[in-house]
Structure 1
Amino acid sequence: MKNIAVLSSLFITASCGSKTQQGQMQGPPPAVAVTVADVVSTQAIYYDEYPATVTAFNEIQLRPQVTGFVTGIYFKDGDRVKKGQKLYSIDQQQYEANYQQAIANVEVQKTNMLKAQKDADRYHELDKQDAIAKQQVDYADAALEASKKQVEAAEANVRAVQTGVKYTTIFAPFDGTIGISQVKVGAPVSAGQTILNTVSSDNPIAADIAVDQKEIFRFTKLAEQKIQSKDSTFTLAFGDSIYEYPGKISLIDRAVDPQTGTIKMRLEFPNPKSELKAGMTGTIRVLNNNMQKSLLIPYKAVTEQLGEFFVFIVKDSNKVSQQKIILGKQIGTNVIVKSGLTDGDKIAVQGVQNLKEGSSIKLDTTAQKK
């Protein structure tokens, strides 16, 4: 047993000695080949982007104000309509008959009033001669006043019935585009209930975005600017397609939404070709031409760890040090750095995946030529 223990001890000692010799032979890790770039301070021109929904400035559902049957439709679905254009008619026979009856009732009440007037005049003449009781004169005056009120009531009824006749024809409330009719000729409709159609304005048209409350001051200033016809401060994008006409701020909502901390902005865009339709979704691009210079670096130089961003700064000893940074807007293959770097810093760009704190580096001329 003692011999076995001695042999094991010798084996362990020999193994340790072998590892020590290997470590001495390996030496420090080799330098990592990287490309480097200078941190550049420049005036960055880019666009801030906000999800947008296209909406009409004016939109209304057409509902009848009388009950009846549709007798006429005077447009084609999807037509552009003008304010005051005739759109629908509803059977007005009943309403016309009521109107004529109301007019006839006015004439009857006027005849009654004329008779009451003559009676009152005659009783007043007799009263001057003291040939009639004073009470009879008072009765005649009261009957005349009642007749006058009845005439007024009959005339008011004519106006009410006439309004019903007027409402049997439905007109376009403003210039815009009408949708697909929800009823056909002959269909019954109910006053205030049945939806006939929807009309919406489409030139100009609006696009709504939600903006963080921190940006209210900036957008207020932009709203005060006089936007030229070719100004590109506000543009509307659908994927890779940019709408040809630039927009301008139409209004800023009255209050911030306390739940989201955002406020609604409405932008106005010309729409002469009717290319924009209410309900479309896109992106509002707001030109951010900041007069202050920004630090730009290649985006591929950035590494991410647990939601934080880092770069490797090149030191004088050809070693790198990991530096945490705060990123801003990405512009093409570059990205703005809000903090963590200064103008003139050198950072590793390619080969960063092989780097760690304190790694030695060498310039990769092959990658630079590519």
Structure 2
Amino acid sequence: MKKHVILLSFLILFGCSEENTESQIEKKESIPLVTWVNPIETIQKKYYPALGLINTVGAGNINWSTSGTIEEILVKEGDEVAKGQKMASLECEMQILDRSNSILLLRQAELALDDADKNYERAKKISETGSISQEQLEKLEMAVSQAVLNYESAEIALNLRNMQVEDCDIVAPFDLNVEFVFSRLGNDVAIGMPALKILPLKGMRMEVMLAPHVAKEIQIGNTLVDENENIWRLSHKSGSSDMTTGAMNTLWEATEESNPENGIWVTTSIDMGDVQGYIVPLASIVQLQGPGVYLINDQDEIKWIPVDILVENDNDALVEGLTSSQRIVLRRPGNLRDGQKIRTGE
């Protein structure tokens, strides 16, 4: 009888142990297994692809950069014009008046900042004697911060007014010949309307329309390479964008003698300079509210965070928003969610 009881107890214990082991295995298998990588810090060249229209012996148009009434036309058809020479302009009294007001406001903001600085410095010295409270000193410090913000805002406003005044004039971006004058004195024009048809006196030119955020990043002297490996240098860009498309017109000069076909479109790659970021495999990018990656914390739990993709190719992406010490999910089984526990595999 005792033997039967012992045997039965052993079977029960063995069965429970087996069930617990199976339960642990099942629980472990329910936690997804992922592989991970560390982002690699690097500095790379950033390029922007664009289409360009080449004009070698052909002509191109120079467009108005703002709207208004034509006040001056200083050239006629057949004139040779030197780079930097003003060729036409709009009535600009309002823009000039706005700029004068902005200059005055900047001067006032500069004086207010100077006064705020002096008041704060005097109060700091007085506070050493205990004649002024810490609260009063903090208020004066806040007044300095506000004065700095006001000065910076006035400076930005003046820069904008300067651009608006500059946009009233059409200036030769390079040595050229005037082929046709579209405009007449007293005409009202809108932004983007053609003003002059021009012919470069020498060399070649390429016209490229760019998105505003790209055009604002590049500077005169930036280079691009076309599909035939010819190098071009930026010589002119509009100060304003087209109201309908938002695109900004840029003109590029050839840096060396070549003989591309006239009036053709070519693909180009614009050198945007060096950018610092982190290389991650393209497979690790997960699109939720935009591009992002899953981070793994010390407790092997995951969280999705957004990243900015600067450059990408077939296999990797250069991104901002990470550090090289972080672990990011590379391969994952199905969908993941924030806070989910995972198992890591090297």
> Structure 2 length normalisation: TM-score?
0.46
